Chain A
Amino acid sequence: MAKRLIVVGAGVTGLMTAKFLVDRGFSDILVIDRKYPGSGGSFRCATGVRASFTSREHIKVMLRAIDLWPKLSKELGIKYSRDGYLWLLSRDRDVEFFREAVKFQNSLGVPTRLVTPEEVRELAPTINASSVVAAVYDPIAGKASCFDSVTNTLTHLLARGVEVKWGVEARKIAREGRGFVVETNIGSLRADSVLVAAGDGSRRLLETLGVDLPIRSLPKHALVTEAFRPVFKPLIIDWATSSYIVQLFNGNFYIGADIPEVYDTVAKVKLEFLRKAARVWTSYFPWLREVYVLRYWTGYYDMTPDHHPVIGPVEGLEGVYVAAGFSGHGFMMAPAVGEALASYILGERPLVPEFERLSPGRFARGELIKEIAVFG
């Protein structure tokens, strides 16, 4: 029996889309995942949520997501808080750059502001801010539990009759009559339409339909420490070294740091990452030296040439939708992306018109978007 929709990928994007659809009465959905729900980027991410970007598209999409997060938090019991983002700047040229970024963000309604090292000490108690010349504070940014976002959305879907199967890998998608057939390790699955929300597996799967999207995987590294009582609230970024630290809801410190990596290679554990993460953050927070690292893992950023995701119906292939290439920001925008994809699938235009600028066809048309605030 053909389904109305097959969603390939049970990450936060696929699950949120299914949620917005069932909540609007669209049923008969099957979600599949080659491993298990959340196993891609969704369970690995730093859980940061912010609208302080440098492109209109990212800002508008994220302002919608920031409207939706508290609602989802209440409805699904996802931990979420607006604890802010703090960008530490140690070079004068960075301050000049951020002065412009803040002006742009303010013009679109994002209340970021430049702050002094004294304010940094208030916002991040115990910090050694001796190398900081200024910082940018974003009070409406924050964090949401990525674990709750996946598990609670999943149980919400299961309770409403959505079928979710894992250990099922999509290997090929082909047109069949008016619908599609998805070839998998458990046989052929049929549906009227297909959403590819398969993270770093999206490109290869779409190629089987003759769709080529310029998405490349970049290995990324992260660690968590043992848990403590709340020490500081914001997610803190060291702009000069492209690293960040955030204290998660459970009290663990999560650290990410950028080290040289090669696109489309297998992510491997590297001592170099641990060295950099430790060096940068123990100099800001000397007490961290005594803190134990519990776990270290890798993951991928699915990068596009303009660092913006690819979202929407695939032009020329009616019934195929894509949401991939999030370039390190797919967790924070998932509520807005899920809402927009649900609109597309229901034959409507998305609420936030900027989504239409993220269409898969923009690469062929040469309509790339500029976004520079990517880090970690």
Chain B
Amino acid sequence: MLDAKKVIVCRCEDVTLYDVEKAIDEGLTDLELLKRKLRIGMGPCQGSGCLLLVASVLARKKRTPVSEVPLPVSRPPITPVQLKFFAGGKSG
């Protein structure tokens, strides 16, 4: 048996499979809520690594197809941009 406390689902924020399953059991049965509770998808990778993984855990727990789990909206910018890009002018 896998130890859910040792399976990392989100590397940016160090979230384990156990954390995800516990939150779902408490009633946070929505990726948007899991994102805020566990910070999944809010690190530098912006969810590219973990969101689908968490979606499949949620689908298994809710006994629904993964395709029926709504995904969180993506916020701009698609890739991180430095503030100087918008500030203009010289550094300093």
Q: Is B84 an interface residue (CB 8 A)?
A: yes
Q: What size tier do the contact residues of chain B reach? A: 20 to 34
The docked-state distance in angstroms from the alpha carbon of A288 to that of B88 is: 13
- A347 and B37 CA atoms in complex are apart in Å by 35
Interface residues of A in 114-165 (CB under 8 A from B): 147, 150-151, 154-155, 158-159, 164
Q: Smallest distance from the beta carbon of B43 to chain A beta carbons, Å?
A: 8
In the docked arrangement, what's the CA distance between A199 and B18, Å? 34
For A279, the chain B residues whose CB sits under 8 A away are 86-88
Residues of A within 8 A of B80 (CB): 226, 292-294
A155 contacts across to B, CB distance below 8 A: 26-28
Known: A36-B33, A39-B32, A147-B36. A297 touches B86 (CB 8 A): no
Q: Which chain A residue shows the least CB distance to B12?
A: A227
- The reply on B83 being an interface residue by CB < 8 A is yes
Q: Which residues of B contact A286 (CB under 8 A)?
A: 91-92
Give a binary string over B40-61; 1 marks a CB under 8 Å from any A CB, 0 the rest.
0010101000000000000000
Number of interface residues of A (CB under 8 A): 38
Within 8 A of A (CB), among B51-92: 75-77, 80-88, 91-92
What number of residue pairs across chains A and B have CB atoms under 8 A from each other? 90
Contacts of B88 in A (CB 8 A): 275, 279
- Which B residue sits closest to A293, measured CB to CB? B81
Distance of A269 Cα from B85 Cα, bound (Å): 17
Q: Are B83 and A296 in contact (CB under 8 A)?
A: no
The residue that A154 contacts in the complex, of B28, B75, B76, with Cβ under 8 A, is B28
Q: Which of A150, A155, A290, A291 has the most CB of B within 10 A?
A: A155
Q: B75 and A297: CB pair below 8 A?
A: yes
Taking the closest CB of chain A, its distance from the CB of B74, in whole angstroms, is: 9
Contact A289 B83 (CB under 8 A): yes
Contact A290 B32 (CB under 8 A): no
In the bound complex, do residue B81 and residue A292 qualify as a contact, i.e. CB atoms below 8 Å apart? Answer: yes
Q: Which residues of B contact A291 (CB under 8 A)?
A: 82-83
When C-beta atoms are compared, the residue in chain A nearest to B13 turns out to be: A250
Most A Cβ at <10 Å: residue of B26, B46, B83, B85: B83
Tell yes or no: A54 within 8 A of B by CB.
no
Which of A147, A250, A289: most chain B Cβ within 10 A?
Answer: A289
**Nearest-CB residue, chain A, relative to B90:** A289
Residues of B within 8 A of A150 (CB): 33, 36
Given the complex, which residues of A lie within 8 Å of B86, measured CB to CB?
271, 274-275, 277-279, 293
Is A269's CB under 8 angstroms from B36's CB?
Answer: no
- B76: chain A residues at CB < 8 Å are 269, 295-296
Apart from A38-B36, A275-B87, what 12 extra A-B contacts exist at CB < 8 Å? A147-B36, A154-B27, A158-B26, A159-B26, A159-B27, A275-B88, A277-B83, A283-B87, A289-B83, A289-B87, A290-B84, A293-B83
The 4 closest A-B CB pairs, nearest first, are: A292-B80, A289-B84, A278-B86, A147-B36
**Interfacial residues, chain A to chain B (CB-CB below 8 A):** 36-39, 43, 147, 150-151, 154-155, 158-159, 164, 166, 225-226, 250, 269, 271, 274-275, 277-279, 281-283, 286, 288-297
Residues of B within 8 A of A (CB): 26-28, 30, 32-33, 36-37, 39, 42, 44, 46, 75-77, 80-88, 91-92
